[in-house]
Homo-oligomer: A and B are copies of this chain.
Amino acid sequence: MDRLITLAHGNGGRLMRELIDELIVPRLGDLLLDSHADAVALDTIAADKKLVVTTDGYTVQPLEFPGGNIGSLAVHGTVNDLAVTGATPHYLCLNMILEEGLKRTVMERVIDAFADAARQCNVKIAAGDTKVVPKGEGSGLYLATTGIGSKNSSIDFCASNIRNGDAILVSGSIGDHGTAVMLARQSFGLSGEILSDSASVLPLCNTLLSINGLRFMRDPTRGGLATVLHELQSLSGLGILIDETVIPIRDPVKGVCEILGYDPLYLACEGRVVAVVAADQAELVLARWKAINSGLNARIIGHFRAQPKQVVLKTSIGGERVLFELEDDPLPRIC
């Protein structure tokens, strides 16, 4: 029979220490700096580097979905937020808020996936904390991770660097993560060939760092590509024109979205990068991305222009439509 998490596993006493020593430490093993200290000293960042931090909460439902689970997602999401600033991630801090009654086997799989992803991204776990809340006041497991990395002091991507005419690229197909989670959540009777794209974007970002005309990178998660484009439009003070027909969207994702009435432009990705570069560098970015497995479907999808100060889509029938900002949530809790 499945053993379950109880409230006493969060009380700071013997049962909690056993949970940490039996279930958590053996899985995270080599990744842990210190499993018992309240606060941990880290190796000092080199003097010519800048320290970079980011933090994110994870509340995805269901906890497990095709292509990943909340554990791998909590690594990728936080690593990716560092990667798009040009930073190399070094450490993660991990908070777990467990719901009483959670199956220990589920927790084991989540921590295993967390550990695998952390090893792949070459990050250590600097600190952790576990709380247990009563049944009915959680949904199995929430995670919150803080990422700590470093970057060369000279790197400073900022939307204010963006110039009229700059090109906009996306590193791969959009909407996969959002659609995979949606299908995992409910039995729509649709086939399950859609996997989350949850992955580290470090290789995609690192390969662009030496390109001179690189202005800005961002990973389109909550709110999808549409939300990143709106942010870029607003921060740059320019207009954006996107060729809708060029945006890479997998056929199964397109199919599911058409049936269910979702617009994939608003659905989350968890392993894609949107990059802005000087127009004459766009082909170089494309070539670098296509040389990496995760960038095979990269595309130049549009460019900045002076007017109108909106995000405009050139549609497949040759018309233009304004892409509106996300208002109501089409699909909550995808990360």
Which A residues have a C-beta under 8 Å from some C-beta of B? Answer: 7-8, 10-15, 36-45, 47, 49-59, 81-82, 84-85, 87, 91, 93-97, 126-134, 136-139, 142, 144, 146-149, 151, 156, 218-219, 221-223, 227, 231, 235, 325-329, 332-333
Contact = CB atoms under 8 A, between A and B. Distances in A.
B41 A97 contact: no
B132 A332 contact: yes
Do most interface residues of chain A lie in helix, strand or loop, or is the interface mixed? mixed
A133 B39 CA distance: 29
Given A95-B95, A144-B95, A38 B218 contact: yes
Instruction: Pick the most buried of A38, A82, A329: most chain B CB atoms within 10 A of its CB.
Output: A38
B8 A329 contact: yes
Given A12-B222, A37-B85, A56-B95, 13 more contacts: A12-B223, A13-B223, A13-B327, A14-B326, A36-B231, A39-B85, A40-B53, A42-B53, A44-B45, A44-B50, A55-B94, A59-B97, A134-B333
Nearest to A84: B38
B95 A327 contact: no
A12 B326 contact: yes
Given A221-B12, A222-B11, A146 B127 contact: yes
